[in-house]
Amino acid sequence: MSPFLIENQLFQIDYTILILVFSLGTIAGSFSHAFADGIIHGRKILRRSECNHCKKTILWAHLIPIFSYIYLKGKCSHCNKKIHFEILIFEVYFACLYVVFFLYLDLWYFLKFALISIFLAVIFETDRKKLFIDLKCLIMILIISIVFNTWPYINYKIFLDKLLLFSFGWLLIFIISYLYFLFKGIQGFGSGDKWLLGIISTIFTYQDVIYIFLSSCIIGSLIGIITLIYNKSIANLKLPFGSFLCFVSTIYPIL
Ligand SMILES: [Zn+2]
């Protein structure tokens, strides 16, 4: 339970802090979406927000997460073109995620997963849209994972533990992909997936990694089957396995 809960009673939550956490979540969601959008469209990560259609800079007052979307009725104030609905989904999803993290995790884990989830969501989005896993995000997740596990005392044994966990996740996908290649003649996973699971593994335990991997496989299979039912013409279906890994890893701490 979060140390911020007064006497650990859910009905005695300090709602001011909860509203703050909710707001923080909306900002994180907005940032995460802008980060992914920047990678997908080859723009600078730190930039003034602009409309994807008319390219005009969005006013500061129109950058308030959730409220701005509702106030502007999901349209750009300059050209009146629709703003992507997924921006609102990101903001609402992160707000809810942060609140649940805050209620179920202690402060240290809350901070760790609040930060990691931003970069997992970026990879979720880039892999979903472009089948691309960004190296910057992988490095950020690794840094956060190591800092939160070693802080405030540097223990070199932890580095070895993390290296073994990384190898475990990396090899898990590498071996399955290699076997798949031997039998089918094609790669079963994307080249970035083994690096992603390797990095994700440093956040969790060996058992967690297996659960996350298997859950992602089940989600992937279900989505694959549904896609093929509705689109029988697809000959070589490529699914964003990295997105499934990121989604499961984000919600795993609260399951
Ligand atoms: Zn516009």
CA of 116 to the centre of ligand 1 (A): 31
List the chain pLDDT tens, one digit each, 255 residues: 444 444 555 556 788 899 999 999 999 999 999 999 999 988 877 777 888 888 888 888 888 888 888 888 889 888 989 888 899 999 999 999 999 999 999 899 999 999 999 999 999 999 999 999 999 999 999 999 999 988 777 778 888 999 999 999 999 999 999 998 898 888 778 889 999 999 999 999 999 999 999 999 999 999 999 988 888 777 677 889 999 999 999 999 988
Q: For residue 88, give the nearest of 105, 112, 106, 64 by alpha carbon.
A: 64
CA of 240 to the centre of ligand 1 (A): 30
What is the H or E stretch that residue 220 is in?
helix 206-230
β-bridge mates for residue 50, sequence order: 57
CA of 227 to the centre of ligand 1 (A): 33
CA of 63 to the centre of ligand 1 (A): 14
CA of 78 to the centre of ligand 1 (A): 5
> What pLDDT sits at residue 166?
96
CA of 73 to the centre of ligand 1 (A): 13
CA of 50 to the centre of ligand 1 (A): 8
CA 179 to chain centre: 28
CA of 220 to the centre of ligand 1 (A): 35
CA of 37 to the centre of ligand 1 (A): 16
Q: Which residues are in the CB-under-5-Å shell of ion ligand 1?
A: 51, 53-54, 76, 78-79
Kindly list the distances between the CA atom of residue 169 and the CA atoms of 30, 54, 84, 146, 176, in Å, as whole numbers in the listed order. 30, 44, 34, 16, 11
CA of 55 to the centre of ligand 1 (A): 6
Prediction pTM value = 0.89
What are the φ/ψ torsions at residue 131 (nearest 5 degrees)?
50, 45
Is the separation of the CB atoms in 90 and 121 below 8 Å? Answer: yes
> What pLDDT sits at residue 32?
95
Is the separation of the CB atoms in 91 and 30 below 8 Å? Answer: yes
> What pLDDT sits at residue 157?
85
Is the separation of the CB atoms in 123 and 134 below 8 Å? Answer: yes
CA of 93 to the centre of ligand 1 (A): 25
Per domain, the residue ranges of the chain are 1-104, 133-255
> What pLDDT sits at residue 3?
47
CA of 35 to the centre of ligand 1 (A): 19
Kindly list the distances between the CA atom of residue 162 and the CA atoms of 25, 55, 123, 146, in Å, as whole numbers in the listed order. 28, 43, 21, 8
> What pLDDT sits at residue 65?
86
CA of 125 to the centre of ligand 1 (A): 22
DSSP state of 209: H
CA of 76 to the centre of ligand 1 (A): 5
Is the separation of the CB atoms in 117 and 137 below 8 Å? Answer: no
CA of 67 to the centre of ligand 1 (A): 18
CA of 81 to the centre of ligand 1 (A): 6
Q: How far apart are the first and last CA of the chain?
A: 14
CA of 126 to the centre of ligand 1 (A): 23
Is the separation of the CB atoms in 62 and 68 below 8 Å? Answer: yes
DSSP string for 123-147? HHHHHHHHS---HHHHHHHHHHHHH
> What's the maximum distance between 2 C-alpha atoms anywhere in the chain?
59
What are the φ/ψ torsions at residue 249 (nearest 5 degrees)?
-65, -35
CA of 121 to the centre of ligand 1 (A): 25
